[in-house]
Amino acid sequence: MRKIYADLHIHIGRTSAGQPVKITAARDLTFENIAKECALRKGIELAGIVDCGSPAVMQDIDALIETGEMVELPTGGLRYRDATTILLGCELETVEEDGSASHHVSYFPAREQLKVFIGFLRRLVTNLDLSSQRCRLPARQLLRMARSAGGVFVPAHAFTPHRSPYGNCVRRLHDMFGEAGLAQLAAVELGLSADSYLADRIAELAPLTLLSNSDAHSLPKIAREYNVLWLDQVSFQEVLFALRRERGRKVLANYGLDPRLGKYHRTFCPECETIAPTEPPVLSCPLCAAPNIVKGVLDRIAEIADYPEPRPPSHRPPYHYQVPLQFLPGIGAVTLGKLLNRFGTEMHVLHQATPDELQFVIGQKLAQLVIQARQGSLPLLAGGGGRYGRAVADDSETQLTMGW
């Protein structure tokens, strides 16, 4: 058994032939480039690619297996160059009876099960080649469909104000899935503007495993949030054991952005372009009283929470705030290249490089920023309304305290 770094929500921008998949994602975000980035630069040994339901992406997968670049594992997953295991995922948009929409990811152990699922979708999705398409089903029916094809089901970025279960569909997952469906969820994904401390203010989430994933739309964004799993082998079956906390497998830790760095942490008013500075929940603009606000994740959780403070279950692992290297002021492409040339992967820089080693490569000031990012002690300005928060080199700019 050993630690495995895992990012289970990564998008594909284009196929190897240049065909669009995720329109808003980078062109170089192909299936093979994701595998290379995870294996050679990020140090991510387990990656969930969530656009594998596209038939055009499936052709890229088949080609890599034919050339021997990847092999299917008998216990599920595709192993790339004996360095990174890929989980085959498919993100879809569901629609409830009231018209509200949310995103969910289904993961499958092998191409055979995924192709069965794609067969189900052909009558429900207008364009299967594109990412995160609307499937004209409510979430509880998609859950049953995924499970019948041999997959597991995870609600995605569960609290964001657009296309998420808690953010714009229901106050409780029980209302969306029912008692039986809620027990069948493999896990729940937090999203960039939330953390496990916020989620643990909602009672129904206590039995569930929580995931922190990047939802990457470009290669540099891979592993801006990730999980540390305790596994015997890096395969689909082992991941399933970890999510269910069976046979000693488990999620050891979640690593993610401080929620203030997320794009939707606080309520945002598009009329006066103001991010709420006051105590949550803010449900209308405190300056111009405009009703059409973008409700922040913190504000939504404060609105629907069962508890005023988190009540984590005994199985909940620690959530570590961590600022990715690309978010740090002063660390651009050249400096990042120096770090990777010296230490190999971003995971090594973030977790293992000593202060003295970092200082030798990038100097004392930037080394201190990396250490502060590792410790979660960087001053931050909160994001909202689709604008990321940001780290600052000192606390002179910050006007918000931790948790706001």
Q: Say which residues have a Cβ less than 8 Å from residue 393's Cβ, sequence separation at least 6.
A: 329, 330, 369, 379
Inside any domain, residue 59: yes
Distance, CA of 348 to CA of 257 (rounded, Å): 18
Distance, CA of 246 to CA of 235 (rounded, Å): 15
* Between 180 and 389, the higher pLDDT residue: 180
Inside any domain, residue 346: no
- Number of structural domains found in the chain: 1
Percent over 90 (pLDDT), the chain: 72
Distance, CA of 205 to CA of 219 (rounded, Å): 31
Q: Which of 139-148, 153-162, 252-261, 308-317 has the lowest mean pLDDT?
A: 252-261
pLDDT on residue 332: 85
Phi and psi for 49 in degrees, rounded to 5?
Answer: -100, 120
The CATH number of the domain holding residue 211 is 3.20.20.140
Inside any domain, residue 22: yes
Nearest to 308 by CA among 283, 268, 279: 279
DSSP state at residue 237: H
pLDDT on residue 289: 77
Nearest to 61 by CA among 19, 26, 30, 39: 30
Question: Could you give the 3-state DSSP secondary structure of residue 256?
Answer: strand
Inside any domain, residue 369: no
Cα dihedral value 152, 176, 11, 83, nearest 10? -30
Mean of pLDDT values over 131-135: 93
Query: Between 333-343 and 355-362, two packed helices, what is the crossing angle to 10 degrees?
Result: 130
**What would the pLDDT profile of 26-72 be if each residue is shown by its tens digit?**
999 999 999 999 999 899 999 999 999 999 999 999 999 999 999 99
Inside any domain, residue 122: yes
**What would the pLDDT profile of 64-84 be if each residue is shown by its tens digit?**
999 999 999 999 999 999 999
pLDDT on residue 263: 83
pLDDT on residue 272: 87
pLDDT on residue 227: 97
pLDDT band at 392 (very low <50, low <70, confident <90, very high): low
**What would the pLDDT profile of 293-317 be if each residue is shown by its tens digit?**
898 999 999 999 999 999 999 999 9
pLDDT on residue 34: 98
pLDDT on residue 391: 66
pLDDT band at 257 (very low <50, low <70, confident <90, very high): confident
Would you list the DSSP string of 148-203? Answer: HTT-EEEE-STT-SSS-HHHHT-S-HHHHHHHHHHHH---EE--TT--HHHHTTSG
Beta-bridge partner residues of 101: 95
**What would the pLDDT profile of 112-122 be if each residue is shown by its tens digit?**
999 999 999 99
pLDDT score of 138 more than 60: yes
pLDDT score of 9 more than 80: yes
Spatial contact of 315 and 196, defined as CB atoms under 8 Å apart: no
Spatial contact of 157 and 166, defined as CB atoms under 8 Å apart: no
- Our separate counts of H helices and E strands in the chain read 13, 16
Inside any domain, residue 231: yes
Inside any domain, residue 380: no
pLDDT score of 397 more than 50: no
Mean of pLDDT values over 117-129: 93
Inside any domain, residue 29: yes
pLDDT on residue 176: 97
Tokens of 257: 């952005």
pLDDT on residue 399: 37
**What would the pLDDT profile of 99-114 be if each residue is shown by its tens digit?**
999 999 999 999 999 9
pLDDT on residue 371: 87
Distance, CA of 373 to CA of 360 (rounded, Å): 18
Which residue has 């969910």 as its token pair?
104
Spatial contact of 227 and 8, defined as CB atoms under 8 Å apart: yes
Would you list the DSSP string of 106-152? Answer: EEESSHHHHHHHHHHHTTT-S-TTSTT-B-SS-HHHHHHHHHHTT-E
- Find the distance separating the first CA and the last CA of the chain, reported in whole Å: 38
Counting every residue, how long is the chain? 404
* Residue 291 CB neighbour total at 10 angstroms: 9
Mean of pLDDT values over 325-345: 86
Percent over 70 (pLDDT), the chain: 94
Q: Which of 176-185, 259-268, 357-366 has the lowest mean pLDDT?
A: 259-268
Q: 134: domain range? A: 2-259
pLDDT on residue 398: 40
pLDDT band at 389 (very low <50, low <70, confident <90, very high): low
Distance, CA of 321 to CA of 374 (rounded, Å): 8
pLDDT band at 401 (very low <50, low <70, confident <90, very high): very low
